Amino acid sequence: MTDLKSLTFPELEKFVLSEGLKKYRAVQIARWLYKKLVTDFDQMTDISKEDREKLKKKAKIYNLKILKKEKSSDGTVKYLFELEDGNRIESVFIPEEGWNTICISTQVGCPVGCAFCLTAKDGFTRNLTTSEIVDQYISVQRDIGAEKRISNIVFMGMGEPLLNFENLKKSIEIFTDDRMLGLSTRKITVSTCGIIPGIRKMAKELPKIKLALSLHATDDNTRNKLIPLNERYPIKEIMKELKNYPANNVRRIMIEYLIMEGINDSVEDAKRLIKLVKGIPVKINIIPFNEYPGSPFKRPPREKIEVFQKTLWDAGIATFIRDSRGQDISAACGMLRAKEKDKAV
C-alpha cells in the first residue's frame, strides 16, 4: 500500500498516473489531505466513487493516534502519539503572540545518548517515516482548530533529525509546497547536536531552512560527558563547519545552550563561547535546564543565568534566555512518554 503522506507532490502525481487516474487528481488529493485535513478517502467528495475505490485498494492515509495530551496554563499542549507498531512519540504545540509553533519528533527514542535527556534513557528504536513526521503537524492542527494556524515548525523533539535526513527532507518538501501545507522555509528550524555530514547535506539540499546547533558546552571534555557523539564530531570541527554554512545576519544560525548548574554556567564558559562563535552569524538561546525526577542536573539560579547572558551581550552577541514552556505539565522532552510507560508497568 502506498502511504500518501510520505509522497512529495511530484511523487503523488506519478502515483495517480500509474493507477490510471487523471493528473489533476493529485491536486484534489493534496487539497483534501493538507488543506481540509481529512482522515479517509470517503471524505474526498469531489473525487468519483470509482476513483476513491481505486485509491482505497492501492493507498492509505496514515493517521497518528492521540494517546494523551496535557495542556499548560500558558497554552502549551504536549501530545503523546501512538504509532501503528505501538511505539510512542511526542509533539508540542506552543502558542506565541502573533504565531504558533509545533515541536516535532523525527525518531522513536534517540541514538545520541545525551546525559541530560530523558528521551535518551529509553534508547533508540527506529527512524520515523515521512508520514509519521508530517502527520504530527496535521494531527495537532486538526486538534487545535483552523483558527490557530501553526506557522512555525521546529525539529527539536525526540531524536536527532540529521540521522533521519531523507525523511526529514521529504517532510520539509511537503510542509513547504504550496499545493500541500504551504509553510514558509523561513519558519522551519532543524536542530542538531552536530552531525557534520548532515550539516553539509543541509547546506547543500536544504539551504533555506534554519539551522540550530545544540551546543551545551564550550570545551570537549565537558561536552563529551554531556553528548557522547562529541568524541566523533568535536566542537572545533563543528564550528569550522558552521563558518562555511550558508547563513547571514538575516538568517543566523541558532546556538542552543542548555545551562546547568556547576556544569556549564560560569563566566569562563561564556567567554569561551564568545571565542567559539567569532566570525559566525549566530544568535544564542540560553535554555535553563528543565528538571525532571531522578535527573542529576540542576537549573542554575536566575542571577547566574543573567550574568552569563550579559557577558555574551557585552561582546555584541544577540543572546536570549528561553524559559521552557509548559512548566506545569510534562514539559521535558520524553517526560510524558516515560510517565505513561511507567503507568503501564
**Is 171 among the annotated ligand-binding positions?**
no
User: Binding site annotation covers 110?
Assistant: yes
67 is in an annotated binding site: no
Find out whether 193 is annotated in a ligand binding site: no
CB 239 within 8 A of CB 230: no
Instruction: Give the dihedral of Cα atoms 103, 108, 111, 117; nearest 10 deg.
Output: 50
Would you say 191 is a known binding-site residue?
yes
Query: Which contiguous run of DSSP H or E holds residue 201?
Result: helix 196-205
The Cα–Cα gap between 47 and 68 comes to 34
Residue 139: closest CA among 276, 33, 222 = 33
- The answer on whether 103 is annotated among ligand-binding residues is no
Nearest partner of 327 among 291, 284, 286, judged by Cα? 291
Q: Is 215 annotated as a binding residue?
A: yes
First-to-final CA distance of the chain: 34
Quote the CA–CA distance of 266 and 209 in Å, as a whole number: 32
**Nearest-angstrom CA–CA distance, 338 and 103:** 18
State yes or no: 214 annotated in a binding site. yes
**In contact, 79 and 69? CB cutoff 8 Å:** yes
Alpha carbons 55 and 76: distance in angstroms, whole number: 37
Beta strands in 271-317 (DSSP E): 282-288
CA torsion angle for 342, 74, 285, 138 (degrees, to 10)? 70
Q: Are 187 and 96 in contact (CB under 8 A)?
A: no
Distance, in Å, from the CA atom of 80 to the CA atom of 132, rounded to the nearest integer, reads: 13
The residues near 331 (Cβ < 8 Å, ≥ 6 apart) are 72, 76, 78, 290, 324, 325
Q: Cite the active site residues.
A: 90, 333
Grid cell 505513561 — which residue?
340
Torsion angles phi and psi, residue 178, rounded to 5: -60, -25
Q: Which residues are known binding-site members for [4Fe-4S] cluster?
A: 110, 114, 117
Question: Can you say which residues are annotated as belonging to the binding site?
Answer: 110, 114, 117, 159-160, 191, 214-216, 290
